[in-house]
A = this chain, B = another copy of it.
């Protein structure tokens, strides 16, 4: 049986999981792949940890550059994260003619173009299934499983931390701040949670999905990103009363004008499967013109789920490393020369339905004025609730769900409504997606 020597960079959570899965399932994987795939060298700053995990069965070093230039290594698995040293290591590995497997979404989202160009020049594979939605084989589904389709849109819960927080907020009626503390205590959120809760991690993954879906280079820098830190528990409650759940979605759509690329809290009809994805789980809905909507669900993070994707990539690399380049699936699903620079629409130009929460004086004529302002802009109302004022108050919440309109049109209506004397304070605006046919 043909041997494949793997060099592993980073033996932390995912690296440790990768080592464990590849060792535990070595025989089952060999039965599938017909290859003897082994991690023969491991680089980690924590030598003791590396020795403990590998138990003398792999060569251990703290010099990652020694691994990427080791002539005995066929494939480098990069699980260090970040995009400074990781980028250098990956480019160096490619320059040395090694195939690369990585779980590094930031690296692909920010430096994908450079990395794929280098890999193409050397004729090596760069695989990154683990970079999006952990153990869910969504890259494979999109690149290969749906290759017959013109992809219309992709929408996903692709950050487990924020989905955990939103699920807890809904189930327990707690505020963002309270649940964040709990999530940090349980290890679901980092001490500095910015990357997750501000939607940056989700935008990295979305940029990759969008590129693969539509045949562009990753355009993370043009993504619109709005996190869940300012989400009010009352909006979760009102959304539920109206039959919706609020999820932090990464959404990318293709239209005549360009590509929408946006991460933000989103109302979804509760009857949709993805609205019922709770806790730290991930799910991605892909709409193809032939297949319709399909959904992929599973663990989006964690040692072994992510390792599942890393090792699946290793199996693919082992199978295809000696194949001709045009027999391999292209890095971003489309032939390299076919990648287009589709324009990413600014958020003001996207189309969406909206949820508005406004606080109004409880007196006649207010609703008439609000609906006139919306009507003047051709924004039609899908549903509305006017709450009773609380005991002793003369203001009440009004919730409006609109049909689809262009965001700048909505913003103009909101400015006009906020200027009404009977309206108190700012209007809360959330976007809403049907995610149906």
A95 CB–B CB distance under 8 Å: no
Identify which of A133-141, A257-265, A408-416 touches chain B: A133-141
**Which residues of chain A (102-153) have a CB below 8 Å from chain B?**
129, 135-137, 140-141, 144-150
Give complex CA distance A49, B333 in Å.
35
Query: Which residues of the other chain, B, contact A298 by a CB distance below 8 angstroms?
Result: 291-295
- Does the CB pair A33–B147 fall under 8 Å? yes
- Chain B residue numbers with a CB within 8 Å of A322 are 324, 327
- CB of A323 within 8 Å of the partner chain: yes
A329 at the interface (CB under 8 A from B): yes
Q: Mark A274-304, 1 if CB is under 8 A from B, else 0.
A: 0011000001000011111111111100001
- Do the beta carbons of B273 and A277 come within 8 Å of each other? yes
A129 CA / B144 CA spacing, docked (Å): 11
Of the 9-residue stretches A67-75, A179-187, A310-318, A389-397, which lies at the interface with chain B?
Answer: A310-318
Query: What is the interface size of chain A, counting residues whose CB is below 8 A from a CB of the partner?
Result: 66
Number of chain copies forming the complex: 2
User: In the bound complex, do residue A32 and residue B292 qualify as a contact, i.e. CB atoms below 8 Å apart?
Assistant: no
Among A25, A137, A215, A309: residue with most chain B CB under 10 A: A137
Partner of A311, one of B135, B148, B335: B148
Q: How far is the CB of A281 from chain B (nearest CB, A)?
A: 9
Is the beta-carbon distance between A327 and B330 smaller than 8 angstroms? Answer: no
Is A326 part of the contact surface with B, judged by Cβ < 8 Å? yes
User: Whole-angstrom distance from the CB of A144 to the nearest CB of chain B?
Assistant: 6
**A308 part of interface (Cβ distance < 8 Å):** yes
Task: For A319, give its contact among B140, B141, B307, B329 (CB under 8 Å).
Answer: B329
Q: Nearest chain B CB to A254's CB is how many angstroms away?
A: 11
- Report whether A144 and B312 are in contact in the complex, using a CB–CB cutoff of 8 Å: yes
Q: Which residue of B25, B326, B338 contacts A149 across the interface (Cβ within 8 Å)?
A: B25
A427 touches B (CB below 8 Å): no
Query: How far, in angstroms, from A320 to B291 measured CA to CA in the complex?
Result: 23
* Of the residues B140, B299, B310, contact of A144 by C-beta under 8 Å: B140
**Interface residue A345 (Cβ < 8 Å from any Cβ of B):** no
CB contact between A291 and one of B305, B326, B329 (< 8 Å): that residue:
B305
A192 interface residue, CB < 8 Å from B? no
Of chain B, the residue at the smallest CB distance from A314 is B148
Question: Distance in Å from the Cβ of A23 to the closest Cβ of chain B?
Answer: 11
Query: Which B residues lie within 8 Å of A283 (CB)?
Result: 295
Given the interface pairs A294-B296, A305-B292, A327-B322, the reply to whether A144 lies near B137 with Cβ below 8 Å is yes
Chain A residues 311 to 359 lying within 8 A of chain B, measured CB to CB, are 311-312, 314-316, 319-320, 322-324, 326-330, 333-335, 338
A423 within 8 A of B: no
Question: Can you list 19 pairs linking A and B with CB atoms under 8 Å apart?
Answer: A21-B149, A25-B149, A25-B289, A29-B147, A32-B147, A32-B215, A33-B335, A135-B290, A137-B294, A140-B140, A140-B141, A145-B312, A147-B316, A276-B276, A289-B304, A290-B305, A294-B298, A319-B326, A319-B328
6 interchain residue pairs of minimum CB distance: A137-B145, A148-B311, A294-B298, A135-B291, A291-B308, A295-B297
